[in-house]
Amino acid sequence: MSRLDIKGKILVCCPGSAVTGGPELMHQLVNELRKLNHEAYICYFPFERKHDCPDDYKEYNAPQMRFSDEEGDLIILPEIATCFVMKIQQARVAIWWLSVDNYFRGCGENWVKDSFAKVKTLFRDRLPLICLRKCLHFTQSAYARNFLSSAFIPSMMLTDYLNLIHLNAKDGSIYLKKNIIVYNPKKGVLKTKALIATNPNVDFVPVQGMTRDEVSTLLSTAKIYIDFGHHPGKDRLPREAAMAGCCIVTGIQGSARNDEDVPILSVYKLDDGCIHGGGFRSLVVSIFNDFELHSANFKEYRAKIRNEPTAFRHQLGDIFGKR
């Protein structure tokens, strides 16, 4: 891979007032680029509005700049904002694929609705892939890389890392762990509701309406985190749960299907037959009863997550170099 020769500014475009994994990653990117002496800025959209940096991201050195299109600059857009490509005439453009499914606005729950969403998306605020071939492409996950590769679009891996609150989380004593299953109520909703209904004696706790510290505390007390969603990228919550000492149980959709993005043993990746049959219940009982044994199976996964900041900085060095 040849290093990019960026002579001007680097504008990382980010949805304003959004406090989720993607926007945090964009602030992390600006922060790390500035450590390499690049003139990098966060640029909130909609561009015509005034936006303040969310409190959660003020820990990052990510100064804000208004959008501009100037020769020599690089403008990095998330995949949800490809509509801006047509507005950029002078600067180079890179698309950062933090998600694949969200590019199409699909929810991953209903094939008919998802197919309609994909068609509707390409007529509204996303550009079809054929219009993005001249852009640079960065991918946060192997899932996204493979998606682009299937369309004959080359890309460069630019992954991410967890916030230090979660990265340095204390997984706690196994003796303090409770027979609790934590889940994200926004992911895999139908499957999770079905599991809750068919397992009334199991304590399921949703992650919602919580601060980072509260999420970390909840995860540190639980034995299992489940995610049967569509895994549109290398999702953060499963990694946060792993660092808090949870055993991770997923479906096999999206990035969870491959062992590069979600490198856990196949016994913890359940297809629909296992989810709706007795496989899920049997696995949960086994983890609850022999948690120490199961927890040890996630040692390598946690080590990889712990190394993600170093890997991310190496990727930045390879792609952008130091000024």
Structural domain spans, the chain: 10-158, 164-306
- pLDDT attached to residue 183: 96
Provide the sign of the torsion angle of the four alpha carbons 249, 251, 252, 254, taken in this order: negative
Report d(CA 94, CA 106) in Å as an integer. Answer: 23
- Asked if domains 10-158 and 164-306 share a fold, the reply is yes
Report d(CA 88, CA 92) in Å as an integer. Answer: 8
- pLDDT attached to residue 162: 92
10-158 fold? Rossmann fold (3.40.50)
- pLDDT attached to residue 108: 46
- pLDDT attached to residue 203: 96
Exposed / middle / buried, residue 62 (Cβ in 10 Å: 0-12, 13-18, 19+): buried
Low-confidence ranges of the chain (pLDDT < 50): 107-112, 123
Report d(CA 61, CA 59) in Å as an integer. Answer: 7
Contact 184, 227 (CB under 8 A): yes
**How far apart, in Å, are the Cα atoms of 15 and each of 48, 52, 94, 241, 293?**
12, 11, 16, 26, 42
164-306 fold? Rossmann fold (3.40.50)
Exposed / middle / buried, residue 304 (Cβ in 10 Å: 0-12, 13-18, 19+): middle
